[in-house]
Structure 1
Amino acid sequence: MANKIQLRRGTKAQLATIGALAAGEPGYTTDSKELFIGNGAGANTPVVTATSADITYYVRTDGNDSNTGLVNTAGGAFKTIGKAVSMIPQTVNHVVSVNVAAGTYAESVLISGKIGSGYIGFTGSSSIVNHSRLKDVNEF
Structure 2
Amino acid sequence: MLNGAAVLLAFEQVGGATRILEISRDYALERKAFGRQIGGFQALKHKMADIYTRNELARVHAYYGAWALSSDAPELALAAGAARVAATTAYNFAAEEGIEIHGGIGFTWEMDCHLYYRRARYLAQVIGSEHAWRGQLADELVKEAA
TM-score normalized by the length of structure 2 = 0.23
Judging by fraction of residues, say which structure has more helix: 2
As a proportion of its length, which structure holds more strand? 1
Quick one: higher RCO (CA 8 Å, sep 6+), 1 or 2? 2
